[in-house]
Amino acid sequence: MRAILSVSDKTGLVEFARGLEARGVEIISTGGTFKTLREAGVAVRYVSEITGFPEILGGRVKTLHPAVHGGILAQRSEAHLAELAAQGITPIDLVVVNLYPFRQTVAKADVTLEDAVENIDIGGPSMIRGAAKNFASVTVVVDPADYDAVLERLGSDDRAFRQRLAAKAFGHTAAYDAAITAYLGEPAELPAERTLELVRVQSLRYGENPHQQAALYREGSSRGAVLDAEVLQGKAMSFNNYTDADAAWNLCLEFEAPTCVGVKHANPCAVGTGSSLEEAWTRAYAADPVSIFGGIVAFNRELDEATALAIKDVFLEVILAPAYSEAALAVLGKKKNLRLLRTAQAPRPALDYRRIGGGFVVQQADTLGVEGIERRIVTQRAPTEQEWQDLLFAWRVVKHVKSNAIALAKGGATTGIGVGQVNRIWATQQAIEHAGERAHGSALASDAFFPFDDVVRTAAAAGITALIQPGGSLRDEDSIRAADELGLTMIFTGVRHFRH
């Protein structure tokens, strides 16, 4: 039996090679793998001995030769074996290869394009794919975790095992190619073909419901503020915890002032800002103490002791913050089941993927903030300074609410939120009902335009004084006339924030 070993990840390599040697396997190798095995005293032949051809082009060409690929791809039929014999080629029965560290290279802050390109493996994927194609006769190994199982089955004819390893091998090369594609392309491009490289980070207890299996995956070498957050304490994060925590953190990033965001079922239920995190929490909690119970809460500053003391008696599933003071950890550490996450520094994703049957719809992520809107006053009355603050606050929030969406805000906090209704007037009524007396003097933000003047009139009846919406309806003039008639101020942004 003959094996070729050429690995970047040398975990367990020497022990595995010694196991092969003990079983009488002839070992061929290249480069750093050959050196490691030779220094460990393993009997190994350099690939040039087999090909009769030296490495050329600075090592770019080592294994791309019929003596290697013929040995790997040959079926164990009489005709193929006779053809190999005529060419003096010996079959290769085991291919153990993992690839140049492309992902690790491009993750370096100072990587150059030239460095990245030199770490694109060519010979390795060719050997892996050849062996995987010929799994009927050849065993292919790309993961050191499989070494023991391979040694146990060496010499047996376990075709099902070889097929599983072949599937894993094709997944390995596909992910590698996807990483290269992602690096060379533009993150926000929508090309004719796009490959997602998903690497499982961990299994989750279950999905949205207990009867659904679930896992957490990383897209290539991307980092995420929640994906890579450090779980400081508490139970393991669930599927719902991750989606809600990501939603809370994304909304937190809209604000520069100390901010607290409460989320339930991926929708904001309460948002507050203030001169301190404690004040932000107090405002957010007062906005909706019912919905925030058992929810996810995110902060955009280091969580301090005063805020921790204010939170400690409220049942929450998860708290996120970029940092925690030691005193805050001491306070919250008494709640052993409470999950505390220290968010990671990471860019926002450039693309947004939504699964549909048989495929995906993909769009550029909605990263447009308040700096990108028109702020066009369309009514006779202009907003007061306080109304401007409330309008922009509500606009930041409504962007993150499922459509049809309405957000009410006043004095640095939400007062009411209308979530995911099938028409805009219902969302408005829900937000006003939620706000109750607090609707009086609030500002209203809508994620899309008003098709009729009913939202304006309903808002005015509840004491709302200012509205912000994209504009663009055929009936815009009806809403503007109603606002002027009722003494309201209204802003058009020229930007829609549908969220489905």
**Active site (annotated) includes residue 265:** yes
Q: What gap in Å lies between CA 52 and CA 44, rounded to an integer?
A: 16
What ranges make up the beta strands (E) of 220-370? Answer: 230-233, 259-264, 267-273, 296-299, 318-321, 339-342, 351-356, 359-364
Backbone angles phi, psi at 236, to 5 degrees: -60, 145
Q: Would you give the end-to-end CA distance of the chain in angstroms?
A: 58
C-alpha span between 500 and 481 (Å, rounded): 30
Among residues 10, 235, 265, 335, which one is catalytic? 265
Which residues lie closer than 8 Å to 63 by C-beta, 6 or more apart?
4, 6, 30, 47, 51, 69, 123, 124, 126, 127
Task: Give the angle subtended at the CA of 332 by the CAs of 331 and 335, to the nearest 5°.
Answer: 120
| Distance from chain centroid for Cα 464 | 39
Angstrom CA distances, 425 to 155, 417, 428, 465, stand at 72, 13, 5, 17
Query: CA 100, 103, 106, 109 torsion: positive or negative?
Result: negative
**What's the CA gap between 230 and 320, in Å, rounded?**
10
AA letter at 485: E
Tokens of 270: 């309460």
Rounded to a whole number of angstroms, the CA Rg of the chain reads 30
Q: Among the options 80, 133, 168, 235, which is catalytic?
A: 133
Instruction: Measure the CA–CA gap between 98 and 90, rounded to whole angstroms.
Output: 23
What are the start-end ranges of the E strands in 186-314? Answer: 198-204, 214-219, 230-233, 259-264, 267-273, 296-299
Q: 56 Cβ partners below 8 Å, 6+ apart?
A: none
User: Quick check: bond before 404 cis, omega within 30?
Assistant: yes
Residue of 463, 469, 405 lying closest to 437 (CA atoms) = 463
Q: 267: which strand partners?
A: 264
Residue 124 is given by DSSP the state H
The edge-to-edge listing of strands for the beta sheet with 339-342 is: 230-233, 339-342, 318-321, 296-299, 259-264, 267-273
List the catalytic residues. Answer: 133, 265
